[in-house]
Amino acid sequence: MAPLSPDDAACVGQVAALLRGARSILFVTGAGLSADSGLPTYRGIGGLYQHTDPEDDLPIESLLSGTTMRDRPDLTWKYLRQVEEACRGAGPNRGHAVIAEMERHFERVWVLTQNVDGFHQKAGSQNVIDIHGTLHTVRCTRCRHAAEVADYAGFPPVPRCPDCGAVARPAVVLFGERLPARQLEAYQRETARGFDVVFSVGTTSVFPYISAPVLDAYHWKKPSVEINPGDTDVSEFVTVKLRAGAAAALDAIWAAYNH
């Protein structure tokens, strides 16, 4: 992990002080957290296509859409497989571990993540709202069959349900699809309760349901912390801004809290 800048190091103690007065914490996480595990930062769910569109001359938002999954599942699966291969062999980093340790320490800690890699759960976090789903559950598009998978190695170009033969797909939110009901219910329930501190970690916060917890904290005069090297849609509203990598910043904050 890269060392923190002097400005960020000065902010660490401020964040540790906020935590000492907290009983409940929300972590809103995005691709910048998993980037410290070696994963590319994704454009939406797509990833790997930050500056160019894929070779099929269609934007990734179209290829990884619910419409294309229905009409041309071979195209959508081609790019889903590329996304999964980018995740394969990687695992949670120190940032994920710190969040899991905080869940065991504080009274109430939740994670709202846009990431579909499952790293929070692998690191030991129990209270995870994976609002965009997970690559590691594959379900039938017709019946109720679903299965947990480690990876997509050995999958045919278009996987089929073993029960009914219909096209199978990962349990992720593709472009143009609604958020899953179970995760949305948990999101609404927990954010309605409020949090003493809200962290935004490694996300540009472009989706309204991702920026909302930080904006709510600002409205209710609750502290918030952003960890992101760049400026985002919520940067002007947070109490403390660290322009550092997610894992390094979280590790330093937790060390300062426990010092």
The owner of tokens 């509203």 is: 237
Instruction: Let me know whether 142 and 234 are in one domain.
Output: no
Mean pLDDT by 10-residue block, N- to C-terminus, for the chain (259 residues)? 89 97 97 89 45 67 93 95 87 97 98 95 98 96 96 96 98 95 98 98 94 98 97 97 97 97
Instruction: Let me know whether 84 and 99 are in one domain.
Output: no
**Which residues participate in catalysis according to the annotation?**
132
Q: Which amino acid is at 181?
A: A
Render the burial of 228-239: b for 16+ CB within 10 Å, e for the rest: beeebbbbebbb
Instruction: Let me know whether 78 and 187 are in one domain.
Output: no
**Domain extent at residue 216:** 6-38+92-132+179-258
Which alpha helices (DSSP H) does the chain contain, by range? Answer: 6-20, 31-35, 60-63, 66-71, 73-87, 94-105, 119-123, 181-193, 208-219, 246-258
Instruction: Let me know whether 114 and 73 are in one domain.
Output: no
Q: Which amino acid is at 53?
A: D
Q: How confident is the model at residue 54, as a pLDDT?
A: 62
End-of-domain residue from the set 172, 198, 221: 172
First to last CA, the chain: 20
- Domain CATH for 18: 3.40.50.1220
Per-residue HEC secondary structure of 158-172 comes to CCECCCCCCEEEEEE
Q: CA torsion 150→154→157→161, rounded to 10°?
A: -60
Instruction: Let me know whether 166 and 81 are in one domain.
Output: yes
> Is 76 a member of any domain?
yes
The Cα–Cα gap between 65 and 176 comes to: 6
The SS3 assignment for 50 reads: coil
Instruction: Let me know whether 243 and 155 are in one domain.
Output: no
Q: How confident is the model at residue 55, as a pLDDT?
A: 66
Instruction: Let me know whether 195 and 223 are in one domain.
Output: yes
Instruction: Let me know whether 109 and 20 are in one domain.
Output: yes
Instruction: Let me know whether 189 and 234 are in one domain.
Output: yes
The SS3 assignment for 232 reads: coil
> Is 114 a member of any domain?
yes
Are residues 249 and 234 in contact, defined by beta-carbon separation less than 8 angstroms? no
The SS3 assignment for 59 reads: coil
- Domain CATH for 159: 3.30.1600.10
Instruction: Let me know whether 75 and 151 are in one domain.
Output: yes
As to burial, measured by CB atoms within 10 angstroms (0-12 exposed, 13-18 middle, 19+ buried), residue 248 is buried
End-of-domain residue from the set 123, 157, 172: 172
> Is 53 a member of any domain?
no
The Cα–Cα gap between 224 and 232 comes to: 14
> Is 49 a member of any domain?
no
As beta bridge partners, residue 26 has 110, 198
